[in-house]
């Protein structure tokens, strides 16, 4: 499972918010900070490996806080992903590791909410294993099912036969390639709408488990 970059690490060094604003980035959100508090484990009555399972509950809470702390910005590249990659490389060369840590705090990257979703799915798996159906457990299941699903039907339907054959070879190497391609072709407005749905999930979990 990929760790979300912690906001404290991501925001050390130069003021990248200011640097990116000078380069034409428009920040829609610079993230929201949730205090790190004790976790209320009421309703998480694990029958085996209780301490390890509770650590996962705490891990989900940490991941929610990290997701909410991430920023959203519109850049100047639009759908020109090659230009964005070139610019990113130039920034990495100019600023080093600190810029990479900061840029990984971009909430609109596909992997950010996919990582958080993985935490929730792991917790649901443990709840199912121990047959836990408390109100808190049912709420976790509800939240886990609330993550947005990226439909690839339109993207696949627009392909010709040769493109589909080529895609089949790519899928054999990376099962997520079509989802990634679909997400890359979404507008910023569509991506922001997805992130706002995940925001709602993260806030709801933190409100539930805050001691």
* Cα separation, 19 vs 136, whole angstroms: 43
pLDDT at 139 over 70: yes
* Cα separation, 138 vs 105, whole angstroms: 30
Return the pLDDT at 175.
Answer: 57
What average pLDDT does this structure show over 6-24? 72
What average pLDDT does this structure show over 41-49? 92
Return the pLDDT at 7.
Answer: 43
* Cα separation, 60 vs 54, whole angstroms: 10
Return the pLDDT at 159.
Answer: 65
Compute CA 144 distance to the chain's CA centroid, rounded to the nearest angstrom.
13
Q: What is the mean pLDDT of the chain?
A: 83
Q: How confident is the model at residue 176 (pLDDT cuts 50, 70, 90)?
A: low
Q: Indicate whether this model's pTM tops 0.95.
A: no
Q: Where is pLDDT greater, at 52 or 166?
A: 52
Return the pLDDT at 8.
Answer: 43
């Amino acid at each position: 499972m990929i760790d979300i970059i912690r906001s404290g690490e991501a925001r050390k060094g130069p003021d990248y918010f200011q640097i990116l604003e000078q380069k034409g980035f428009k920040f829609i959100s610079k993230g929201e900070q949730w205090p790190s508090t004790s976790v209320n484990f009421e309703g998480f009555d694990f029958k085996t490996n209780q301490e390890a399972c509770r650590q996962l509950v705490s891990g989900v809470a940490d991941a929610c806080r990290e997701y909410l702390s991430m920023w959203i910005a519109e850049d100047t590249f639009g759908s020109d992903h090659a230009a964005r990659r070139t610019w990113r490389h130039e920034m990495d060369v100019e600023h080093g590791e600190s810029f990479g840590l900061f840029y990984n705090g971009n909430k609109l990257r596909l992997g950010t909410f996919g990582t958080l979703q993985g935490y929730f799915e792991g917790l649901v798996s443990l709840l199912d294993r121990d047959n836990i159906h408390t109100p808190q457990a049912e709420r976790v299941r509800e939240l886990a099912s609330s993550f947005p699903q990226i439909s690839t039907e339109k993207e696949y339907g627009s392909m010709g036969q040769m493109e589909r054959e080529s895609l089949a070879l790519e899928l054999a190497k990376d099962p997520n390639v079509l989802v990634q391609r679909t997400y890359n072709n979404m507008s910023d407005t569509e991506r922001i709408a997805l992130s706002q749905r995940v925001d709602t999930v993260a806030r709801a979990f933190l409100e539930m488990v805050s001691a």
